[in-house]
Amino acid sequence: MREVLAMLAVLVAGCGRAPADSEPAEAEAAEGAPSRAAPAEVGIVPAEVEGAPAAEGPREADFAAHVRALEGRAPAGFTVVVSRPFVVIGDEPAGMVRRRAERTVGWATRHLKALYFEKDPAEILDVWLFKDDVSYRKHAKELFGDRPSTPFGYFSHAHGALVMNIGTGGGTLVHEMVHAFMGPNFPECPAWFNEGLASLYEQCGEEGGRICGRTNWRLAGLQEAIRDGRVPSFEKLTGTTSHEFYHLDKGTNYAQARYLCYWLQEEGLLVEYYRSFRAAAKEDPTGYATLGRVTGERDMAAFKTRWEQFVLGLRFP
């Protein structure tokens, strides 16, 4: 669906993703090969946020029935772990699948909900974590009839599933989790902000008890585009249609949106911007007017110049 790498056992130290032509395959170390004859294993991993509003959506009985159905559908040797509002299914060793469910899916869920998302997806979403590219492509075809266009993973609306090659790392997974939550919480969200926020957490960690995006592989291309004078105004970026965002200078659009979100985060304005934009979406569907209001910027051209200097001063790694 979207262009959507660090060891997930230490996710709080960062979770990243790189483009197909430069990404090192930094998979977590496996704990031995899974037994192909072993039945699916079921575990429960809570993902509640202390003090957060009670979530609406599927209940315990719904999850139990969903897991039973998955047990009958998942190939032999897969482990099934509930991490609300998701169910994680993977073909790595059971301990590894449980750790990914807790340290990636559960961790990201808690932090994203604490900052942004009050509502869970209306339906239970499956997170399929395939151990390597061979497993990913084989099972995407067998289970969903898909031929993935990305080596990392994608969100299948048709099947209510996040389909991941987890051998490439967890950045794509967290990216797609943002999209899964954005739908029920901000359905009017335009592509630029949906992708900007999701891309922000492709490389992330925890600071002061909050999830935080960090610089990532998109930075170099954006810096080059800035030096070449190819980065559009914020008015043009926020005014892009979905088609324009995804098909016209896609790389620069993603990077500009991500690093605008990164700047807002570093200024302590990102959560305020999200909430203000969502509240004013009918009057300001692009978010451009809200951007000026939240930042206090009146001269947006001058603001973009300062933002560009900020971006040029960033480094990755």
Whether residue 55 has pLDDT greater than 70: no
| Confidence category of residue 57, pLDDT binned at 50, 70, 90 | confident
> Using one digit for the tens of pLDDT, what is the confidence trace for 91-111?
999 999 999 999 999 999 999
Q: What is the pLDDT of residue 281?
A: 98
Whether residue 189 has pLDDT greater than 80: yes
Whether residue 25 has pLDDT greater than 50: no
Tell which CATH architecture fits domain 8-185.
Answer: 3-Layer(aba) Sandwich (3.40)
| Confidence category of residue 58, pLDDT binned at 50, 70, 90 | confident
Residue whose pair of structure tokens reads 């979770």 in the numeric block: 15
- Higher confidence at residue 282 or residue 60? 282
Whether residue 235 has pLDDT greater than 70: yes
Q: What DSSP string runs through 17-54?
A: ---TTT----PPPPSSPPPTTSPPEEEEE----TTPPP
> What is the average per-residue pLDDT within 232-257?
96
> Using one digit for the tens of pLDDT, what is the confidence trace for 301-313?
999 999 999 999 9
Whether residue 32 has pLDDT greater than 80: no
Tokens of 133: 């590219």
Q: Which range among 45-49, 138-142, 187-191 shows the weakest confidence by mean pLDDT?
A: 45-49
Whether residue 43 has pLDDT greater than 80: no
| Confidence category of residue 17, pLDDT binned at 50, 70, 90 | very low
Q: What DSSP string runs through the chain?
A: -------GGGGGG------TTT----PPPPSSPPPTTSPPEEEEE----TTPPPPPS--HHHHHHHHHHHHHHSPTT-EEEEETTEEEEESS-HHHHHHHIIIIIIHHHHHHHHHT--SPPSS-EEEEEESSHHHHHHHHHHHH----SSSSEEEETTTTEEEEEGGG-SHHHHHHHHHHHHHHH-TT--HHHHHHHHHHTTSEEEETTEEEE---THHHHHHHHHHTT-PPPHHHHHT--HHHHHHSSHHHHHHHHHHHHHHHHHTT-HHHHHHHHHHTTTT-TTSHHHHHHHHT-S-HHHHHHHHHHHHHT----
Domain ranges of the chain: 8-185, 191-312
| pLDDT over 70, % of the chain | 82
Q: What is the pLDDT of residue 83?
A: 97
Q: What is the pLDDT of residue 56?
A: 63
> Using one digit for the tens of pLDDT, what is the confidence trace for 263-273?
999 999 999 99
